[in-house]
Amino acid sequence: MGNTINNNNIALHIEDLSIAYTKDKYAVKGINADIYKNTITAIMGPSGCGKSTLLRAINRMHELYPEIKVTGNILMKDQNIFKINAMEVRQKIGMVFQRPNPFPSMSIYENVLAGYSLNGIKLKKEEKDRIVQEVLEDVGLWEEVKDTLHKKRTALSGGQQQRLCIARSIAMKPDILLLDEPTSALDPISTSKIEELLMKLKDKFTIVIVTHNMSQAARISEYSMFMYLGDLIEYDLTKKMFTNPNDKRTEQYLTGKFG
Amino acid sequence: MNKMKYRRYKDKAFLYLMFLITIIAITPLASIIFELVAKGFNQLNISFFTEVAPTTLDSMLAKSTGNPVKGGIANGIVGTLQIVGIASLMAIPLGVFVGIYLAENSNKKFSTLVSFSTDLLAGIPSIVYGIIAYAWIVIKITDGYSGFAGSVALSIMMLPLVIRSTEESIKMIPASLKEASLALGTSYRKTILRVILPSAMSGLFTGILLSISRVIGETAPLILTALGSQVINLDITKPTSAIPLLIWEFYNDPYLINMIWSSSLFLMLLVLIFNISAKQISKRWAIQ
Ligand SMILES: Nc1ncnc2c1ncn2[C@@H]1O[C@H](COP(=O)(O)OP(=O)(O)OP(=O)(O)O)[C@@H](O)[C@H]1O
Ligand SMILES: [Mg+2]
């Protein structure tokens, strides 16, 4: 993994990142990694190995919980994301959570534009309409919801809700999109729709996805990380890792021997 | 086998017993409603809503001429709307903000203190609020009995209810919603005001309506503050009438006893409307 931060291909440079929920009990231990632009990077590993913790730190979600201690740096375009305004970082680094969490008090239309309205960014009506249609088409939801855009409390399935949440994130045109097991609560059809979507979206964004589903990682990602007990054990091209892993633990995990 | 049968009998007996006790418990409730409707309903006419309450003089005159006592409770209705309305304007914003603070800072020492005081506040007898509003407002500010003093007494009574219901409904909102908002780069203030509060609206409104229906019939604190008035009074610094105050006055006049029933019936209907709306809102607006 090249160490030059100036490299144009690098979206995120993670440097000696450690995260502890309680003193001296690290959930993420001194991770170094570069995330490459316009690729999908999958983070894998057994439950509790620190995948969500790592992902959430990139979006600075840990700051909601003052007891969490983070050391190390994450650089984005030569800027340390821990040193600049958190709101600015979060507008550039979008996050999709494991459980779909659309805003229940808003219509579909308002949900898609929530990033703008909540940040006080004013848009013209035509511009709003264009963004809503564009991103809902991107996530494959347009046809299903175009007649109920302005209705509040429309009943959406879990998969539709998750695609709406992705739409809400990408409407903000972030540079990087983080997804924490976005399909773990979904049926196979919704899952494959979201996978197709992610493959399409990587031309526009850099995507980091936590997944428990190894075949999903194999299907969609170029790069894969394998974490174990807070350590980044292995980080390589997905093809290489799945065919010829360097570490014994990676191999054991991928062959289902533990996890 | 016999034992089983015995057990079944015991279960049956227990069921009947519960039924019987329920009947006994609701009998007084049902009789109150029956009595209010029976004695008060035929007086709920137009003049009941448009005319002010009869005075003792009116009732004595009517008695001597043999005519029925004329009059309504318009001064009470307007007064109640005004006193409770202003009380709500003070208690609701304040209570909602304190409730948000408590929900958002539940692990702080200060919150425990506020929470504890809120519980204490809820346990104080309502007449004490009246005495306090008398000392603070009647004597020091409005220089005499006033509707505003009544509003202050009722608003302090409403506070703990609004605070608690806000706190509870905000705590019900999953953390994931807050995270979703902040993850979009939204500020904390906007997250609370534009995402969390609207999502908690159902619980919030229910609590607010219930707190209003809780104080709308309060009499003791108003006797010491709003005092009452024979005319429709819109000046909040002057003595003001209210439905429960009128009921108290009617009680003190043997010729006006009938008005008690109609006024009480009306008050009960008002509270009923508030309670039903509260239920409807919590059902309709409930999220998931
Ligand atoms: N809020 C928390 N407070 C204390 N410890 C936590 C908290 N959240 C996570 N942890 C601990 O941090 C470690 C990493 O958790 P994390 O949620 O990052 O794992 P994960 O890899 O995402 O697991 P999963 O696949 O089950 O989602 C675990 O040991 C967990 O017990
Ligand atoms: Mg996780």
Cα(A95)–Cα(A50) distance, rounded to whole angstroms?
A: 17
Q: Return the structure tokens found at B80.
A: 């109640």
**Nearest partner of A194 among B15, A203, B67, A184, judged by Cα:** A184
Q: Return the structure tokens found at A209.
A: 């996805």
CATH superfamily, domain A10-254, is P-loop containing nucleotide triphosphate hydrolases (3.40.50.300)
Give nearest CA residue, ligand 1 atom 12: A27
Per residue in B173-189, pLDDT tens?
999 999 999 999 999 99
H-state helical runs in chain A: 51-58, 86-92, 108-112, 114-118, 125-138, 142-145, 158-171, 188-201, 214-220, 238-243, 248-254
Rounded to two decimals, the pTM is: 0.86
* Extents of the domains making up chain A: 10-254
Using the mean position of ligand 1's atoms as its centre, give its distance from the Cα of residue A186 in Å: 21
Shortest distance, CA B187 to any CA of chain A (angstroms): 7
CB A258 within 8 A of CB A55: no
**Percent of chain B at pLDDT exceeding 90:** 78
pLDDT of residue A259: 58
**Which one of A17, A52, A68 would you pick to mutate in the ligand 1 pocket, going by the greatest count of ligand atoms within 8 A of its CB?**
A52
Residues in the ligand 1 pocket, defined by CB under 6 Å: A 21, 27, 45, 47-53, 212
Q: Return the structure tokens found at B17.
A: 């017993």
The residue of chain A with its CA nearest to that of B288 is A104
Q: Longest C-alpha distance within chain A, in Å?
A: 56
Q: Return the structure tokens found at B266.
A: 């009306």
**pLDDT over 90 (residue A224):** yes
Closest partner CB to A97 (pick from B180, B185, B191)? B180
Contact assignment for B199 to A104 by CB distance below 8 Å: yes
Give nearest CA residue, ligand 1 atom 11: A27
pLDDT of residue B115: 94
Closest partner CB to B176 (pick from A94, A99, A169)? A99
Cβ-Cβ contacts under 8 Å, B182 against chain A = 61, 64, 90
Cα(A170)–Cα(A178) distance, rounded to whole angstroms?
A: 11
What is the rounded average pLDDT for all residues in chain B? 92
Rounded to an integer, the average pLDDT of B53-81 is: 87
Per residue in B260-288, pLDDT tens?
999 999 999 999 998 998 888 888 777 65
List residues bridging with A235 in a β-sheet.
A225
Closest partner CB to B185 (pick from A103, A119, A153)? A119
Give nearest CA residue, ligand 1 atom 3: A21
